[in-house]
Structure 1
Amino acid sequence: MIRVLAIASLLLLAAPVASQAHGETTRELCDRRGGATMEQVQCFAGSRVAEDARLNRVYKALMARLKPAQRLALRDEQRAWIKDRDAACLPYYDETQYGQQGKVDGEECIIDRTILRANALARIGRR
């Protein structure tokens, strides 16, 4: 089951990520709202909080359905996913390399990966 999740997560990384509420990407939503870089960061941060809360709900619901050994495996996989997400996304926050726009790109990276992870866990939970 955990291998299936890992494969599904990799396949989903290529798909465009849409916000749950409106079928548009977070980038489209925040671009539509406009504003300077800091307003963009705030827009992404709000979406990040919402998507992180959704991931936590889905993760907890799935954990409640699993056997103890499966829970340990999922916990370990989730920890590995967090490390991978951070390794991919946190470098964007380096202003010397990416400037102010890096904060927007970093938020978008984290949101996109969080949505994909929550979707993958939700699919497993429906089985």
Structure 2
Amino acid sequence: MRALLIAAVLATGVPATAQAAPKPQTALDRCLASPAGASTMGQIQCIGDAVKAQDARLNQNYAKAMKALTPEQKVKLRAAQRAWIAFKDADCQSLWDDDWGTLSRVTANMCVLDRTSERADELANYPDR
């Protein structure tokens, strides 16, 4: 993917000074690039480790948001969080089907990672009183 991006930038003739700096490698990137991340099961394990980290961040941000709210606001956020969990689970499960092969498991797990990371960001910016 990165090689295609580099080739596309070079083909456009954009000066090197105008090109974006390379994105720093994440723990997920390093895991997927390792020998352990070469198999489907290895990729799922790498993604699972990243989900655990993002889920911890989500829970921390949720607890912080809840502390700052009135009782009525807490009821609303709790209901929203439960609805979000149901949506995330249904949405990501829809991407996993044995008929689509083992890569659909990777895709479904990446969905969980993406949704969890996005929700953690949303909760980090949740309004306080």
Normalised to the residue count of structure 1, the TM-score between the two structures is: 0.72
Q: CA deviation at 1:45?
A: 0.6
Measure, in 2, the Cα distance between the counterparts of 1:81 and 1:66: 19
- Give the superposed CA RMSD: 2.3
Which letter maps to 2:110?
E
Structure 1 gaps, min length 5: 1-21
Structure 2 gaps, min length 5: 1-22
Q: CA deviation at 1:91?
A: 2.3
Normalised to the residue count of structure 2, the TM-score between the two structures is: 0.71
Q: How many correspondences in the alignment?
A: 105
Q: CA deviation at 1:125?
A: 5.0
Paired position in structure 2 for 1:65: 68
Runs ≥4 in structure 1, deviation > 3 angstroms? Answer: 22-31
Q: Does 1:87 align with 2:120?
A: no
Question: Could you say which structure has the greater relative contact order, defined with CA pairs below 8 angstroms and 6 or more residues apart?
Answer: 1
Q: CA deviation at 1:31?
A: 4.0
Q: Does 1:37 align with 2:40?
A: yes
Q: Structure 1's 66 and 23: CA in aligned 2 closer, same or farther, altered over 3 A?
A: farther
Q: CA deviation at 1:49?
A: 0.8
Measure, in 2, the Cα distance between the counterparts of 1:89 and 1:25: 22
Q: Does 1:101 align with 2:123?
A: no
The correspondence for 1:53, drawn from 40, 45, 56, is 56
Percent of aligned positions that are identical: 39
